[in-house]
Amino acid sequence: MADKSAQAASRKSSKFQKELQDIHKKQQKRKLKSSIELDPAINIDEYTAFAEHLKSSTRILALLGAGLSAASGIPTFRGAGGFWREHDVTDLASPEGFFKNPSLVWQFYNYRRHQALTAMPNRAHIALAKLAKQKPGFLAITQNIDGLSEQANHSPSQLERIHGSLFEVRCTNKACEFQETNYTDPIVPALQLPEDQDIGDANFPLREVPRADLPHCPKCVDSLLRPGIVLFGEAVPQPVTERIGEWLDKGQIDLMLVIGTTAIVYPAAGYIHIARVNHARVAVVDMEVKDGDDVQREQDGDWFFQGDASVIVPELLKEVIGRVP
């Protein structure tokens, strides 16, 4: 009799524990659902599953794009926004574009430097910086050149900038090795932005800045300086690709975050493929959904969360990093 009573008590205890666990899970779902405005198409179970996988993940790779900084007021130049003053950015921000019209290109980048210097990191930048502190095996590859991840105190050893920085400049003379970090705004007096007009508005007349007044190399004197970023058609600097390669070679990747980018251009798209080969589950956070983009072709175990990265990312990472104000 005693054995039967003990078995019955054990079954009741197990059933009670399971009920408690179910109640706890429901409470967690309600908390998450009440803390973020979910798209009706997004299942709250997906958020819960992601959070559990994140907590158990050791090696995490993130690919960050322009959508990460959109809430900070930085233009994405994606889709309908891919033009500046009626100039296609892919043509403007190219080696050919620079040498054809350095005045126009420098006005474009001086404008972008000013925007970045007056912007503040948003909650997604801060959340990712916190994740880097909590997860030593986390590496973020950013396509952004605005410096907002750095402003959020993202560990430099866990951040690789594959497109460079708006605040790096270098000499256009290939025989000259001059390069420096420069936060001066404007970078030269001739590029001072008007206080009462937005030069990004094509209706506002843009004056021609003489070549002599553009940024010049202090070492070569006669040579122009150029933005130290990877222009369209240029390769990612070898030291950057080597450091990323070393990280990738260390073994299995548990999770890949793709935030604010459609990742249709290499090498960005290649990193997603490599992560999947290394058994990573992929989570995409983006405002846009475009048919045919490789990053949107979800595989079993992938997640796609549509919406503002500055809202969604802090919620996704909350179980590991805590709440971001």
- Compute CA 28 distance to the chain's CA centroid, rounded to the nearest angstrom: 28
CATH number of the domain residue 205 falls in = 3.30.1600.10
Residue 297, pLDDT score:
54
Do residue 108 and residue 248 come from a single domain? Answer: no
- Was 171 annotated as part of a binding site? yes
Domain total for the chain?
Answer: 2
Residue 33, pLDDT score:
47
- Was 244 annotated as part of a binding site? no
Decide if 12 is inside a domain: no
Decide if 188 is inside a domain: yes
Decide if 223 is inside a domain: yes
Do residue 138 and residue 261 come from a single domain? Answer: yes
Residue 158, pLDDT score:
99
Do residue 130 and residue 216 come from a single domain? Answer: no
Which tokens in the block code for residue 199?
């030069």
Residues of the chain with pLDDT under 70: 1-43, 78-81, 289-300
3-state SS record for 20-33: HHHHHHHHHHHHHH
Q: Is 163 annotated as catalytic?
A: yes
Residue 23, pLDDT score:
44
Residue that finishes a domain, picked among 181, 203, 229: 229
Residue 118, pLDDT score:
96
Do residue 188 and residue 290 come from a single domain? Answer: no
Residue that finishes a domain, picked among 212, 229, 246: 229
CATH number of the domain residue 294 falls in = 3.40.50.1220
pLDDT, one tens digit per residue, over 208-230 is 999 999 999 999 989 999 999 99
Do residue 69 and residue 79 come from a single domain? Answer: no
Decide if 13 is inside a domain: no
Do residue 194 and residue 144 come from a single domain? Answer: no
Write out the DSSP string of 80-119. GG-EETTEEHHHHTSHHHHHH-HHHHHHHHHHHHHHHHH-
Do residue 243 and residue 270 come from a single domain? Answer: yes
Decide if 35 is inside a domain: no
Residue 87, pLDDT score:
86
- Was 176 annotated as part of a binding site? yes
Which tokens in the block code for residue 73?
């007021």
Residue 9, pLDDT score:
46
Query: Which of 114, 125, 154, 163 is flagged as catalytic?
Result: 163
Decide if 52 is inside a domain: yes
- Was 179 annotated as part of a binding site? no
Domain that holds residue 292: 42-74+121-163+236-325
Decide if 191 is inside a domain: yes
Residue 298, pLDDT score:
58
Q: Structure pTM?
A: 0.84
Do residue 295 and residue 325 come from a single domain? Answer: yes
Residue 173, pLDDT score:
96
Q: Read off the DSSP letter of residue 298.
A: -
Cβ atoms of residues 72 and 120 within 8 Å: yes
pLDDT, one tens digit per residue, over 144-192 is 999 999 999 999 999 999 999 999 999 999 999 999 999 999 999 999 9
Do residue 205 and residue 257 come from a single domain? Answer: no
Residue that finishes a domain, picked among 205, 229, 253: 229
Cβ atoms of residues 295 and 258 within 8 Å: yes
Q: What is the largest CA-CA distance in the chain?
A: 101
Decide if 17 is inside a domain: no
Do residue 131 and residue 85 come from a single domain? Answer: no
Do residue 184 and residue 324 come from a single domain? Answer: no
Least Cα distance to 102 among 231, 190, 225, 188 occurs for 225
Which tokens in the block code for residue 276?
């999947």
Do residue 189 and residue 284 come from a single domain? Answer: no
